Amino acid sequence: MSRIARRRLMQAAGLSAAGGLTGILASGQAPAYAQSTTVHWLKWNDFVPAADELLRKKLIPEAEKQLGIKITLETINANDLQARTTAGIQSKSGPDLIMAFNSNAQLYADSLADVSELCEAIGPAQGGYYQIAQGNSNDGKRWISVPYCIIGAEVAYRKSWFKQAGWDQFPKTWDEYRAAGKKLKAAGHPLGQTLGHTFGDAPTFAYPMMWSFGGKEVEADGKTVAVNSKETIESVKFMTAFWKDAFDEGGLAWDDTSNNRAMLSGTISATLNGASIYIETLRKPDTYRTEDDKPMKEDILHGRLPAGPGGQYAFHSAQSTMVMGYSKNQKAAIDFLRWFHTEGNYRQWFEIQKGFSCGPAAMWEKDKMWDIDPVMEPYRDAAKYGRVPGFAGRANQKAAEALTKYIIVDMYAKAVQGMPAEDSVKWAEGELKKIYAA
């Protein structure tokens, strides 16, 4: 067997490495595999796994074929999207498309590509974007992200327990809901709600509670902090009493998953959520059972957050897609979004969601998917009734900052932990003033 001398091996390795490198440098081009345009899309790990499967196995390959680009889909936990977005913007490298929750796109408005042309084509063609979608994705001057979908927030409740408490239908007002909750808690079935720092269920409850009593974050000018009002204080006082009367008081420490688990395990009788609780019971009817061993799916209905003296409101989690300003593939990224939001392509994704995600525009209310399951009916046009943080002004960077700092949520959380309502509202006013004055 011939032996290779160490020196000869080193020479060969050096020559081949140097030759390869010299070749690449001389050609002035990246190797062929790196030449085609690749769009890196970062989004949350969808609650509906079939939807991500559809993207990976069908829609993305089709888009790649038709657009002549390569698309890399990366999915992560929703809570981690902001860290990735910040790092991408700071280092001017990273995914070309990133999903934003709620009005987070406003936080990064200066670092995002203008997608006005695309949004102005999609919205009107699909019956017009909802106010929520527009509020989150438009900064008043231009469209900064492309509305993706809206995750309706409705109260999932146990039909049989509410009936036992004397409610054949879901309560229409906060007072009725409190009366029902008091009876249910006494019977060992409290209501469940988080007031923790969690992006979904906490703000989607706290903001509508404030609005429904007539409270508001700022005046219509979007600058003057107006939270410290008689109406807001009334809402905080109501919530404090409501919490003690009706809620599972461990909810202060809950995250977005805790109420799902509490509801699915029969610990609570109602909770504000997306449709994920009900859809999970549909997926695994043998797993989720009532205390008398019947499928829980047959005992869950949905209702809107009740009305207060100031009206009935909702804050639905909205998702949009940001085209990053640092991206060198903006055109390809926008082309892909245009392709994805084409009616026929988006419908495939929308229908597989089975109502967990509503379309961002009015046309999707009429989709035949909504006729399949009457339990999902309240989600059909839920997005119509939504407001965005920053009311009575429009959603902007300041409102988005206040949202990500959980100031309105903390205002309620502090009060239910014992701070007088006036003081907690005053605290929130001080925090909001710091943001809006900056």
**CB 20, min distance to other proteins, A:** 17
Q: Of 55, 78, 233, 402, which one interacts with other proteins (CB under 8 A)?
A: 78
46 sits near other proteins (criterion: CB under 8 A):
yes
Q: Which stretch binds other proteins (CB under 8 A): 172-180, 279-287, 370-378, 416-424?
A: 279-287
83 sits near other proteins (criterion: CB under 8 A):
yes
Q: How many Cα atoms within 13 Å fall on the side-chain side of residue 244?
A: 9
Q: Of 212, 260, 269, 320, which one interacts with other proteins (CB under 8 A)?
A: 260
Q: What angle is formed at CA 376 by the lines to CA 373 and CA 380, rounded to 5 degrees?
A: 115
80 sits near other proteins (criterion: CB under 8 A):
yes
47 sits near other proteins (criterion: CB under 8 A):
yes
335 sits near other proteins (criterion: CB under 8 A):
no
**CB 344, min distance to other proteins, A:** 25
The answer to whether residues 364 and 348 touch, using CB atoms and an 8 Å cutoff, is: no
Q: In this complex, which beta carbon is closest to other proteins, that of residue 42 or of residue 233?
A: 42
Q: In this complex, which beta carbon is closest to other proteins, that of residue 142 or of residue 289?
A: 289
Q: Which stretch binds other proteins (CB under 8 A): 21-29, 128-136, 218-226, 271-279?
A: 271-279
Question: How far is residue 60 from each of residues 53, 54, 186, 254, 353, measured CA to CA in Å?
Answer: 10, 8, 52, 36, 17
93 sits near other proteins (criterion: CB under 8 A):
yes
Q: Which residues contact 265 (CB under 8 A, 6 or more apart)?
A: none
For residues 393 and 432, give the distance between their C-alpha atoms in angstroms, rounded to a whole number. Answer: 14
Query: How many beta carbons lie within 10 A of that of residue 244, not counting itself?
Result: 12
Q: In this complex, which beta carbon is closest to other proteins, that of residue 359 or of residue 393?
A: 359
Q: Of 126, 276, 321, 329, which one interacts with other proteins (CB under 8 A)?
A: 276
Q: Which residues contact 378 (CB under 8 A, 6 or more apart)?
A: 152, 154, 302, 303, 304
Q: Of 192, 196, 203, 274, which one interacts with other proteins (CB under 8 A)?
A: 274
> Taking the alpha carbons of 360, 148, 83, 196 in that order, is the dihedral positive or negative?
positive
Q: Which stretch binds other proteins (CB under 8 A): 132-140, 236-244, 280-288, 388-396?
A: 280-288
For the chain, the distance separating the N- and C-terminal CA atoms, rounded to the nearest angstrom, is: 77
Q: Which residues contact 336 (CB under 8 A, 6 or more apart)?
A: 39, 41, 63, 67, 69, 71, 97
Q: In this complex, which beta carbon is closest to other proteins, that of residue 5 or of residue 32?
A: 32
Q: Of 38, 58, 70, 84, which one interacts with other proteins (CB under 8 A)?
A: 84
201 sits near other proteins (criterion: CB under 8 A):
yes
Residues 294-333 vs other proteins: string with x where CB under 8 A?
----------------------------------------
282 sits near other proteins (criterion: CB under 8 A):
no
The answer to whether residues 390 and 222 touch, using CB atoms and an 8 Å cutoff, is: yes
94 sits near other proteins (criterion: CB under 8 A):
yes
For residues 96 and 209, give the distance between their C-alpha atoms in angstroms, rounded to a whole number. Answer: 37
318 beta partners = 150
Q: Of 287, 298, 311, 328, which one interacts with other proteins (CB under 8 A)?
A: 287
Question: How far is residue 110 from each of residues 141, 143, 322, 330, measured CA to CA in Å?
Answer: 12, 12, 12, 15
Q: Which residues contact 55 (CB under 8 A, 6 or more apart)?
A: 73, 349
Candidates 129, 188, 148; CA nearest to 350 is 148
172 sits near other proteins (criterion: CB under 8 A):
no
Q: In this complex, which beta carbon is closest to other proteins, that of residue 45 or of residue 116?
A: 45
**Residue with token string 């999902």:** 376
**CB 2, min distance to other proteins, A:** 34
Q: Using CB under 8 A, list all residues that contact other proteins.
A: 40, 42, 44-49, 72, 74-78, 80, 83-84, 86-88, 90-95, 188, 200-201, 256-257, 260-261, 264-267, 273-274, 276, 280, 284, 286-291, 356
